[in-house]
Amino acid sequence: MKRCAALTLSVILIIFSLCSCTPKLSPAAGEIKVTDCRGREVSVPADPKSVCALSPFSGPVIVMLGCGDKITSFTNNAARSYMLLDICSSLSDAAVVKNSGTVNVEEIMARNTDLLVMDSGVYDNEVERAKIEAAGITYVVVDYNTIEDQFAAVRVLGETFGQSEKAEKYISYFRSVIERVDEEALKNKTSLRLYHSVNEAVRTDSEGSYCAEWIAHTGAENVSVSGAKLTVEGEKSYTTLEQIYAWNPDIIICNEAMVDDYILSDSKWKGLDCVINGRVYQIPVGITRWGHPTSFETPLAMLWLMNLLHPDTFEIDINSEIKSFYKTFFDYTVSDSLLEAIIDASEMRAPKTEKGVE
């Protein structure tokens, strides 16, 4: 098996070394050095012309930094965001080069890519990383497992694109939200027990996960992270409906559109107190699914959940907060009709089957 894997990798390296005839952009005038999230010191173009955002998190952040027009290829996850494409119309011409685990390096090369941003999923995949390295494409790795690590990832992107001030502005806002939420959670403690559905109804948070961290700031008891027995598949954690009945949470929040409707309408869930009481909620969806492991809109998710948990004591105009966020960080005006769609999470993302890697 090891011999076969080595042979496959060798073939890949030979194929891509023979692709030197593919035209590439001349190096940009000047380079800068950045240290990425894996501790690699990388010399990157000071003014990249063609960027591949191979990390789902990186695409929206690069747009936030004002460099979205440099993105010529990205992931299917980002391509499905109607709001992101409306904010940065040039992304309509970008190629989708990753849909699940396979990277279309030929298309990345055809776009004359001079900088690639990847996550640890690609970096740790020996075959996929070898394809990119054989193509001679400069890359940085941005990834995180905690909120503090996420700040570091934003800083790496800020330095890479010469927009550190904008990166710090976002980080400062996120920190201010955490302080605000922590203060409220300490002052007005809640006994509510919460279950978080991630994408699928029975996929949930594990102890130490990114989602578990941001929910913990709100003071709610996240039932799946307190020594619960979960089934782990890669980076995903699953429970069972039987276990959810044993937890009998006071509320359920869902980060995938229509999962709340499924839980509220499917007969198998009807015995839960929160279903009987109608306390199953859809987390809003903007550019990304708020609070999702790859989302940069997590501060909005925290404010939304605090407003849900403490409607009588948490002083916030959530609608104004949402509009202000997108205006501040994207210079994008959210209309009342779009605001309603964001909160309802309706029609904010294209179906997975609509666009993918050819």
Tens of pLDDT, residues 231-268: 999 889 999 999 999 999 999 999 998 999 999 999 99
Degrees (nearest 5) of the Cα angle 333, 157, 327? 10
According to the model, what pLDDT value does residue 346 have? 83
Q: Which of 28-32, 333-337, 347-351 has the highest mean pLDDT?
A: 333-337
Task: Give, as one character, the DSSP assignment of residue 274.
Answer: H
Domains of the chain: 29-162 (3.40.50.1980), 170-354 (3.40.50.1980)
pTM of the model: 0.89
pLDDT score of 14 more than 80: no
According to the model, what pLDDT value does residue 226 have? 80
Cα–Cα dist 82/103, whole Å: 23
221-232 pLDDT, tens digit each: 999 998 778 999
Q: What is the dihedral of CA 159, 165, 166, 167, to 10 degrees?
A: 50
Q: How confident is the model at residue 319 (pLDDT cuts 50, 70, 90)?
A: very high
Q: How confident is the model at residue 355 (pLDDT cuts 50, 70, 90)?
A: very low
Region 103-132 average pLDDT: 96
Place of tokens 């992107």: 157
Looking at the chain, the whole-number percentage of residues with pLDDT higher than 70 is 90
pLDDT score of 10 more than 70: no
Please provide the average confidence, as pLDDT, over all residues in the chain: 90
